Amino acid sequence: MTVHHAPPNFAAMPAGHHEHDPLSRRERQIMDVIWRAGRATATEIHGSLPDAPSYSAVRALLAVLVNKGHLKHERDGKRYVYEPLASQEKAGKSALRRLLSTFFNNSPASLVATLLDPKDVDSDELARIRKLIDQKKRK
């Protein structure tokens, strides 16, 4: 079984480069399928996508995700099996850092203020947020 990571030209990129490559909607859907499954073939991924594009489009998107450094793949007989290079949590934190930087001048307080619009957050959710803040204060 041969394990393939990103192509050779990716090795010349700075470490963590993939954290700055945002995912398209379809790329995110593919990553969600793979995170849920742990590992999957192109056929399995294609079958799990909502309103799936063509099989060849899915294969092309998988190649993009490998090139961006989000996936690795290994040959298993005549097919490739794809696995994420980062956990969903780590990828989410990276996306949130980009969001903070791009829209909120790296200010978590500005982000939270935007999220706390009274018409979007009920009292139960506010209580959960208060509890999380209190727990962080104690640490």
Output the pTM of the full model.
Answer: 0.66
Q: Is 62 exposed, middle or buried (0-12, 13-18, 19+ CB in 10 A)?
A: buried
CB 82 within 8 A of CB 74: no
CB 20 within 8 A of CB 98: yes
What sign does the dihedral 2-87-44-62 (CA atoms) show? negative
Note the pLDDT of residue 6: 43
Q: pLDDT by residue for the chain (139 residues), tens digit each?
A: 544 444 433 333 334 444 557 789 999 999 999 999 999 999 999 999 999 999 999 999 999 999 999 999 999 999 999 999 988 898 888 889 988 999 999 999 999 888 888 788 888 988 998 899 999 888 7
